[in-house]
Amino acid sequence: MNKFEEVSKLIGNTPLLEITYKFENKIRKSFAKLEWYNLSGSIKDRPAFEILKRAYECGELKEGQTICETTSGNMGISISAIARFLNNPVVICMPKFMSEERKKLLKLYGAKLELTENFIEGFKKAEEYKSEGAYLTYQFENKNNVFAHYNSTAKEIYAKMKNVPCFVSGVGTGGTLMGVGSFLKEKCGAKVVAIDPKEASILTFGKSMGKHKIQGLSDEIIPKIYDKTLVDKIIQISSDDAVCMAKKLCTDLGLGVGISSGANFLGTVVAEDNAVTVFADDNKKYLSTDLSADIKSELVDKIKLIGYKII
């Protein structure tokens, strides 16, 4: 049995949603890929699959060998889910301030969890495992991370929409923005817009300026695969605005999205009409976070969500 062939049937070809809303007295539309339809519930299944498949093909990774990664959560969950099927042990290095749901899911998938003070300590811990023979997926610098989105996510969007004016996405590793953005810029001249958490603004200022609540974005470093020359604009979104938008999508339309998806949707609102983004995961990993808190947002209050349809 070709295990990668079987896993591939559970990843990708996710729905593309057209969301209609009213903002500043105008009826507008945004488009979003529903990425929680993937195997482990997030967009990270795409790069995890591509990275592990390529590593097996070139002999860098073998069955039974330990896989290690530093992650804010979703990539670790994706790697753990796929690796469990491949019969590879997994060690995940993750900052201890990530959501409790992430930690519990990783343990359910059989991963060994190394909790660190921050991402930098996580990178150091991962290198220790590499010295003991583990395979490091290096998601922040692995070009197969970008290729996964160039070859799948972007092509799926383009198959449904030949004229994409703008692609918007937050940057964790940068794989989604770089892969989808470069493909759509080549094919239809789409603008590429990055989302930067307002409280940290690492893309804007070159270093993290503080702490934010949008888990999965702005992981304390500018990733090596992030190419700023591809980016036409950076939009800052505050944590509270992102949380409130995620909550509004759930309470008004029944779309249970994660916090980064709230930020991404707001990015499309600020960017331009008919912009495309991704809803990276759903809200179930964030119930212990501020997603359940009573937070207000003047920006989100100005947006009236009208409806959606699959295209």
Q: Exactly one of 33, 40, 42, 44 is catalytic; which is it? A: 44
Verify whether residue 78 is a known catalytic residue: no
261 is known as an active-site residue: no
Angstrom distances, CA of residue 52 to CA of 68, 92, 134, 145, 171: 11, 15, 13, 10, 21
The residue annotated as part of the active site, out of 260, 261, 285, 297, is 260
Alpha-carbon distance 178 to 91, whole Å?
A: 27
Neighbours of 18 (CB within 10 A): 17
- Cα 213 to Cα 31, 111, 236, 242, distances in angstroms: 24, 25, 13, 9
Q: Which amino acid, one-letter code, is at 224? A: K
181 closest CA partner among 271, 71, 309: 271
At 64, give phi and psi (nearest 5°). Answer: 90, -15
SS3 238: coil
CB 278 within 8 A of CB 33: yes
User: What is the spatial distance between Cα 308 and Cα 18, in angstroms, rounded to a whole number?
Assistant: 5
Q: What is the DSSP letter of 257?
A: B
Q: Provide the 8-state DSSP code for 98.
A: S
Query: Which residues form the catalytic set?
Result: 44, 260
